[in-house]
Amino acid sequence: MAVSNYSHAKESVDFIVSGDYVVTMNEEQLLINQGSVAITGNTIVAVDEQSVISEKYTATHYIDGTNKIVMPGLINAHTHTAMTLFRGMSDDLELMAWLTKYVFPFENEFVSPEFVKVGAELACYELIKTGTTTIVDMYFYPEVIAQVMVDCGMRAILTAPMIDYPSPGFKGWDDSFAAGVKYVNAWKDKHPRIIPGFGPHAPYTIKPENLQEVGEAARKLGVPISIHIAETRNEKAIIEERYQNTPVSHVLAMLGDNWIIGAHMVHPETNEYNKIRTSKLGAIHNPTSNAKLSSGLSPVPEMLAAGVNVGLGTDGAASNNDLDLFQEIRMAALMQKLVSYDPTKLPAIDSVKLATSSGAKAIRMEQKIGQLKSGLAADMIQIDISDVKSRPIYDVFSHLTYVINSDQVVTSIIDGNIVMENGEVVNIDAAKLLPKVEHYSKAIAKKIAEVKAQP
């Protein structure tokens, strides 16, 4: 009697996603030609050449990789999602004028739970369409944003905004801080894709004792802090005058050894790089927003050389004016070369890392996302390169930085769930969303006209 040999039986998995190129961002093997990713549940089981994966695994669902690049989902490490409803409301102003004349007054007039829900849905649609799978957000009514992100399938660190002054829903520091603590307690460990945290606005808008209060609460609850740091020269001058310190050193002194996500970091001091590296502070570069508001250019290559973890963000759509991380990848690389007169600054591969593996380290989630690697979360996108304008391809990282546009993203998988397939977003109905957007945009347009008519 013949004896059956089960040693070559294939393992069953849920998905096999293939590509002509699989960009793993794993330093051991950054790129696999004709590769596949095997997924079970919400986890990557294996990443290898297509022939190896097909020999070892059989899947319930196959996603064809012909004329496709597969890569980790992009990480937008600093944004304000609901501000999509303020997209383009005011351009060509420096930061303080933009904040005081438009952002703060408009937020006080329009921001509500329903406004935030519509804005977050609009953002979620755009984020998924353009290849982002994880965000770090800071905006009002974070509990509303959290539910939107759960419903649309995103992964997110969502921080509650806090400021010393009156803001939407709050009289000042005490009630905004109390609301932040309540939100964090409500959402901590509530959903596997959502991490709540605190979002103190900036060192120039929050008293030192209040920043210390945030640090103590974050340390006790074990959650992240997202804060704007060293964004402008004006901020630097304010902190030096008030506290005889720099913004970076001041924030680190107030927040200590907390998990900190520092947005912008345009003006850190050279002698602070080592202090940043040895802290739990990740630096988030926002090239388009910083260029548009003339805030300056973050010294990203120098920080990377010093061992600082640097990520990439869009900032909000009110200052960008979109949430397109492929644009940020390109801008990050080009701006460093332009300002330094050095074409070797921030090579293409390093710019891609900012939005993937390096970005994951900057937000302290590298054990979960940022690479296509066995054991990590199944967060990935497919990019269509069948169009003539994408050919020829000699270097995939060059293409991802200088050629690929976000409208070429056709598939998005987050936590093992397909949230976009064949270019169609799964969980958001654009036809139902747009009338809600139009409702707010009409009211905002009227207010813009009133402000511009003022002397």
Contact 336, 328 (CB under 8 A): no
Read off φ and ψ for residue 229, nearest 5 degrees. Answer: -135, 135
Name the residue among 366, 365, 331 with its Cα closest to residue 348: 331
97/117 Cα distance (integer angstroms): 27
Unique residue bearing structure tokens 């497919």: 382
Contact 328, 313 (CB under 8 A): yes
107 in a labelled binding site: yes
81/160 Cα distance (integer angstroms): 13
Question: Left (φ > 0), alpha (ψ -120 to 50) or beta: where does 131 sit?
Answer: left
439 in a labelled binding site: no
201 in a labelled binding site: yes
Does 247 sit behind a cis peptide bond, omega within 30 degrees of 0 on the bond before it?
Answer: no
Considering just the CA atoms, what is the radius of gyration of the chain in Å? 22
231 in a labelled binding site: yes
DSSP string, 266-304: -S--GGGHHHHHTTTEEEEE-HHHHHHTT-----HHHHH
Contact 275, 301 (CB under 8 A): no
355/399 Cα distance (integer angstroms): 15
Question: Which residue numbers belong to the known binding site for Zn(2+)?
Answer: 78, 80, 228, 315
Question: Which residue numbers belong to the known binding site for substrate?
Answer: 107, 201, 231, 315
Question: Which residue numbers belong to the known binding site?
Answer: 78, 80, 107, 201, 228, 231, 315
